[in-house]
Amino acid sequence: MANPVILSIDDDPAVSRAVARDLRRRYGDRYRVVRAASGADGLTALREIKLRGEQVAVLLADYRMPEMNGIDFLEAAMDLFPAARRVLLTAYADTDAAIDAINLVDLDHYLLKPWHPPEEKLYPVVDTLLRAWAASPDATATEIRVVGHRWSAPSFKVRDFLARNLVPFRWLLADDPEGVRLLAAAGATEADLPLVVTGEGKALVAPTEAELAGLAGLTVVPAADFYDLVVVGGGPAGLGAAVYGASEGLRTVLVERRATGGQAGQSSRIENYLGFPDGVSGAQLTDRARRQALKFGAELLSTREVVGLAEAGSARLLRFGDGTEIAAHTVVLATGVSYRVLDAPGLAEFTGQGVFYGSTATEAPSCEAQDVYIVGGANSAGQAAVHFARYAARVHLLIRGADLTASMSRYLINQLDRIDNIVVHPHTVVAGGSGSGHLEQLTLCDTRSGETRTVDASWLFIFIGAEPRTEWLDGVLVRDRRGFVVTGPDLVTDGRRPAGWALSRDPYHLETSLPGVFAAGDVRAESVKRVASAVGEGAMAVSLVHRYLEAQ
């Protein structure tokens, strides 16, 4: 396979030659350095690189270029090589534009010109970006192709898994000419779908999530049997705990049953997270947090479901679904919550076939010029409505209440009001669904009058509150009546500590009824359901882990 590409673009010939010269001097033995004189030329070069099946590791673009500036180029380049790390070359006077670009195009870094000496100002930046690129799941693999049916739940599960794990792939319908060719080459039929074909030509028929994880270069087997800290769950709280645990010297492993990011990772835009005034997508935030955890030495395990927790002297044992176990001095539970199932006649059979729980970015382009229905009145539903409005003819937001003020942030309500093709339907619930092979119609009910009406609908996205996945902790930890894990002072009633508590002290603030086991984020009873608070609790849990270990 050809060496990965480092592409630099500057309309000033002298600067362009200097950049290329410095890059070749340091990286020419491992990377192919390509330079272009304009954004248009750069995109032409990227298209040729894409057709040859080569990879692009880093893009460096000058901000001030005629016709297409550096930010516009990087935004267009993301469509061709989304995993490439992005650097903006800028003068001191343009630093505000560079800072804005951090949010607009998920910029990784900006370099002030001149960057001499390169050993101090250029190479350390590029070294860091190349390491991050090489650590990404898709860095050395060519494009993955997925062949399936439009309204197939198994096909949707494969695409959703790859998308959530930030693995680029190309989606092909089974009756597309290329889809037909791939089926024939793999010796498969439409009955075998979905089919996944790697860049190296390996075909997987109806692969499991563990097989997909291996294909994507994700780790599925722990490197050790014993750790200082096991974090269960890869949402914001879990990633926060993994970053702080590993950065503070604890041997840390994070276990995620599906994909890092949790519900926040599915969000199309988070606009009230500190430090991102223009918002940040859940995928971008997840990718940065995952890379940060890996940088500090945390181990990330994918497609491993924890089904049991037990005390074994000073150790805490965690049992996986396949019967294997790992042990640790301490555990942070950050399993988050899952969306409740909408219990309406006819909907269950269409899950993944027009009925979806949460925001699924993979489906948005398929909703082009169609009507989309969203159930829910909280921020997650509002963010999804804004995202789908970019594609759909009309987005219908169905809520039980009279308006959104009681459940949604004001900034998001104002945003919805400004988008013409979003319609809010108050006092409205879904009473049923029907279709042949996929969702085709919805029955809507007015909760005030009881009147119903039927609408044509192929897309329903559901955000109706959440519940914790804590059944596996039954009899092990104290939970409230809704299943959330009780921690800290809430475990002490009238001066009495929880049953079985053997220590002479009260539980720490985030500590559960089993000493050394902590809960953070949405799974914890009475937690604040916000991304920032989840990250904060993950960090706070690690400080309490240190206190616990020091007392042992």
Residue, of 307 and 287, whose pLDDT is higher: 307
CA–CA separation, 489 and 510 (whole Å): 9
Q: Is the pLDDT of residue 177 over 90?
A: no
- Mean pLDDT, rounded, for 119-142: 78
pLDDT at 338: 87
CB contact at 8 A, 397 and 374: yes
* Strand duo 325-333 + 144-148: pairing: unpaired
**What is the distance of C-alpha 131 from the center of its chain?**
20
Highest mean pLDDT out of 212-216, 245-249, 334-338: 245-249
Give the confidence band of 287 by pLDDT, cuts at 50, 70, 90: confident
Q: Is the pLDDT of residue 140 over 50?
A: no
Classify domain 5-135 at the CATH superfamily level. Response regulator (3.40.50.2300)
CATH of 348-464, one of 3.50.50.60, 3.40.50.620, 3.40.630.10, 3.40.50.300: 3.50.50.60
CA–CA separation, 219 and 84 (whole Å): 21
- Mean pLDDT, rounded, for 227-252: 97
Q: Is the pLDDT of residue 430 over 70?
A: yes
| 0.85 surpassed by pTM | no
Note whether 226-338+467-551 and 348-464 share their fold. Answer: yes
Q: What CATH architecture applies to the domain 144-215? A: 3-Layer(aba) Sandwich (3.40)
Q: Where are the domains of the chain?
A: 5-135, 144-215, 226-338+467-551, 348-464
Beta carbons within 8 Å of 283's beta carbon, 6+ residues apart: 166, 261, 265, 361
Q: Is the pLDDT of residue 369 over 80?
A: yes
Q: Is the pLDDT of residue 139 over 60?
A: no
- Mean pLDDT, rounded, for 81-106: 73
CATH (residue range 226-338+467-551): 3.50.50.60
pLDDT at 194: 95
Q: Where are the beta strands (DSSP E) in 325-393?
A: 325-333, 337-339, 355-357, 371-375
Residue 213 CB neighbour total at 10 angstroms = 24
pLDDT at 98: 59
pLDDT digits (tens, 9 = 90+) for 288-343: 899 999 999 999 999 999 999 999 999 999 999 999 999 999 999 999 998 889 99
The amino acid sitting at 57 is A
Q: Is the pLDDT of residue 138 over 70?
A: no
Count Cα atoms within 13 angstroms, Cβ side, for 126.
27
Average pLDDT, the chain: 90
- Which three-class secondary structure string do you get for 38-102? CHHHHHHHHHHHHHCCCCEEEEEEECCCCCCCHHHHHHHHHHHCCCCEEEEEECHHHHHHHHHHH
